[in-house]
Amino acid sequence: MAIHNEAKEGEIAKVVLMPGDPLRAKYIAENFLENYQLVNQARNMFAYTGIYKGKEITVMASGMGMPSMGIYAYELYQFYGVDSIIRIGSCGSYVEELNLLDIVLVQESYTKGNFAEHMSGEKCDIVESSALINSKIEETAKEQQIKCVKTNVACTECFDAYMINPKEYVEKLPKEKQITCSEMEAFALFYTAKMLDKKAACLLTVVDSNCKKEVLTAKQREKSLNDMIKLALETTLKI
């Protein structure tokens, strides 16, 4: 029985898109889904189930950080029979090669945190996304002519902009992992999927950069996020 989700049995689709922000979940439902219904509003973590091009899809917020993602992903997988979750969020770039508004497809997520040890007792600091879903995302990106960069990310426990010394943190990341950006939820999603024998992927839009002092307008953010949302939704038709 789910503790943090009031949706009834059968109200959650087998494939779920997970933005961090509950209002972004609402935006996706209102602008991309047909015949959608609000199926969870416990703790204002909105979940909507509707139809996208004939396929049932649920869009549910995860909140911010690994603990929040871990809770909601676990309950979706374990209590609602969800098979696949695609996180759709934002990230900060650590490298010159990534520009603001670029869309990133996560291959591996690295963390200095203890999520895996807390969950299973395993000392694990890196976990892969689903190769199957990633292949479908790449295939869809080519079809939709949406540029998508596959890379590895750091999953942090503190928002980069609030770190006392973010440069020092970046310099301590393992160079062999070729980490190019950071976010705060992917590791928990991927590891939870691994533990429950489920599938998970993550698409991110670059909204800030440690290398480039640029500021996005609200309109620019919306357009880029819409491209990422479209890519995720079109991919759901293949999984």
By annotation, the residues acting in catalysis are 208
User: Do 22 and 39 contact (CB within 8 A), yes or no?
Assistant: no
φ, ψ at 204 (rounded to 5°): -135, 150
- Its sign, for the CA torsion 16, 234, 217, 97, is positive
Closest by alpha carbon to 200, among 212, 188, 182, 210?
A: 188
Strand partners, 117: none
CB atoms within 10 A of CB 163: 13
Residue 108 token pair: 């591996």
Mark 106-143 as b/e (b = at least 16 C-beta within 10 Å). bbbbbbebebbeebeeeebbbbbbbeebbebbeebbee
Structure tokens at 148: 């998508």
Distance of alpha carbon 153 from alpha carbon 196, whole angstroms: 22
